[in-house]
Amino acid sequence: MNDRPEQERAAQATLMSQQGVDLRICVVGNGCVPDIVPAGALTVALETNIGIPGGRNAGAQALAEASRPDQASYLFFLDNDAVLPTDDALARLIAEAYQHPEAAYVQPRLTGPDDVTTPRRWVPRLRAGEPGRPGTITTMTEGVVLVRRNVFDALGGWGASLFLYHEGLDLACRCWAAGWTGWYAADLRMHHPVTSPTRHAPFHRLAARNRITVAYRNLPRSLIPLYLGNWAVITLARLLRHGGTHESVRGMREGWALRHAQTRRPMSWQTVWRLTAAGRPPII
């Protein structure tokens, strides 16, 4: 959105410095024409801001159209305020994908610029107090993630209607439902400013709305009330400490009112079992 020029330059510089990989880059302007574009990169200038997942889909589509028939094997999504701290980060991330062929996506450990601080919300699994422990994961941190291109295309990409928040959970659910897993490469770090999601005005509303949307799209019908009941309790506890009650209630109302507009592709009970065996039953 051309609102972070210094961070944009830093993100692109670390991307262009990567060694051992063949990169095809697309910069997406969400409601703008991108001001900062590396030499040889594609650009997509969306007339309006269609949200982060929709913007990512537009970039992936542009790369697909420009690369036919020689498609890349992987898509790497990088937010414009994140950086790759070493010039072999992408090569190492792809090596992790080769070592874990069952994983549709590979997630590095996201830290602050100090290479140490990892907020709990950035750890894509339960037991978030151990961010340095690698393993199978059932969700993802969307801003720095590697996804197999064939899986991404087969699943239809990111859930664009979510606009912002929980699109990684939605895509991860669909990956697992299709028989894949995810892998957390905790030994591989990438950097992001340590900020609060509440800096975005619609956080409380969209987070609450999208929880309902993701549950209604992906869960067996009998698990939806259990999942949403758990998250209602968690949300209430957080609101008592941090505020945002009015917007969260508004988001819940929106999500519930719009639930029947969603395309339901509920996961099988076999997938429920696989998620549970991986340490995250889909009621948490």
Instruction: Sheet containing 144-148: give its strands across.
Output: 74-78, 144-148, 103-111, 181-191, 135-137
Neighbours of 253 (CB within 10 A): 14
The CA distance from 90 to 144, in Å, is 11
The CA distance from 77 to 214, in Å, is 21
Structural domain count, the chain: 2
- Say whether both 62 and 171 belong to one domain: yes
pTM of the model: 0.94
What is the phi-psi region of residue 54: left when phi exceeds 0, alpha when psi lies from -120 to 50, beta otherwise?
Answer: alpha
Question: 159: domain CATH number?
Answer: 3.90.550.10
pLDDT tens profile 53-74: 999 999 999 999 998 888 899 9
Beta bridge partners of 185: 108
Is 130 part of a structural domain of the chain? yes
Cis peptide before 266 (omega within 30 of 0): no
Is 136 part of a structural domain of the chain? yes
- Say whether both 139 and 156 belong to one domain: yes
Stretches where the chain sits below pLDDT 50 are: none
- Say whether both 9 and 146 belong to one domain: yes
Look at residue 2 in the predicted model and tell me its pLDDT.
Answer: 87
The CA distance from 141 to 167, in Å, is 9
- Say whether both 152 and 262 belong to one domain: no
Look at residue 199 in the predicted model and tell me its pLDDT.
Answer: 66
Instruction: Identify the domain containing residue 208 by its residue range.
Output: 199-266
- Say whether both 243 and 109 belong to one domain: no
Question: Cα–chain-centroid distance for residue 168?
Answer: 3
Is 53 part of a structural domain of the chain? yes
- Say whether both 209 and 236 belong to one domain: yes
The CA distance from 108 to 189, in Å, is 6
Helix locations, the chain, DSSP H: 5-16, 52-67, 89-99, 149-155, 167-177, 203-218, 224-242, 245-257, 269-277
Is 280 part of a structural domain of the chain? no
The CA distance from 228 to 213, in Å, is 10
